[in-house]
Amino acid sequence: KTAHKPDFFLTGSNGIFIEFSTEFIFRAWDVSEIISKTLVSSQPGNDIVKLSPGVKFPEPNKDLFKGTALNCEEASLDVNIKGGRKVVVLNTKNLPLVGEVGLGADLVRLDGSAMCSPGFSCDSSLQVIYIVKGSGRAQVVGADGKRVLEVMVKADNLFIVSMIADPDGLITKIPLWFTIITKINIYFRN
């Protein structure tokens, strides 16, 4: 399925501000009337524009992004069981943004036929698990100890309990999922 992307232009002949009065624009943006006219009318075309020679884009301030991103594929593993599972836990130590958002997270990758046993939160955290790649089997046992659900999960499913991977695994068939957790720094036992 291809996604439909509507056009959205701030300026130019199809820009969203083209029909607003100059007064509205300079008051809304808190700029002078001359600057507001320039903002609205300086790009006569739409879509792709050619920049004048010598125009340079500002360089991003890399200090602003510290603590807001972590490459889970390259991060050191918190759990690494050969032939089993690999886990990267996101917390305030390796991703300070977690503290700002108020949620923790982890990325779990299961090798083929590996199992992730049920995890029990020590602090009543809840987990919402999104299956990123692959497929596997999940089981739910009720309070009386009887299995109440056994279901196959696959990419793009949301799930909330433990899983067993198919023989091919959950990443391009090796189980891989991303979990959002309702506590900042999480404490789980398996």
CATH of residue 98's domain is 2.60.120.10
Same domain, 107 and 165: yes
Into how many domains does the chain fold?
Answer: 2
135: nearest Cα among 166, 177, 163: 166
The answer to whether residues 146 and 89 belong to one domain is yes
20 pLDDT more than 70 = yes
Q: Would you place residue 146 in the very low, low, confident or very high pLDDT band (cuts 50, 70, 90)?
A: confident
Judgement on whether residues 137 and 108 belong to the same structural domain of the protein: yes
**What distance in Å separates the CA atoms of residue 166 and residue 179, rounded to the nearest whole number?**
19
> Do 83 and 175 share a domain, yes or no?
yes
176 in Cβ contact with 108 (< 8 Å): yes
Quick one: 17 and 81 in the same domain?
no
Choose between 1 and 105: higher pLDDT: 105
- Average pLDDT of the chain is 73
pLDDT grade for 190, boundaries at 50, 70 and 90 = very low
- 66 in any annotated domain: no
The range of the structural domain enclosing residue 148 comes to 72-189
The side-by-side arrangement of strands in the sheet containing 115-116 is 115-116, 163-165, 135-141, 147-154
Residues 92 and 163 in one domain: yes
pLDDT, tens digit, 9 for 90 and up, residues 50-68: 778 888 877 877 777 777 8
Q: Both 10 and 95 in a single domain?
A: no
Location of structure tokens 């340079």: 56
Q: Is residue 102 part of a domain?
A: yes
Which residue blocks in 30-167 are alpha helix, DSSP H?
33-41, 97-101
Q: What is the pLDDT of residues 134-145, one digit of tens each?
A: 888 887 766 667
User: How long is the chain?
Assistant: 190
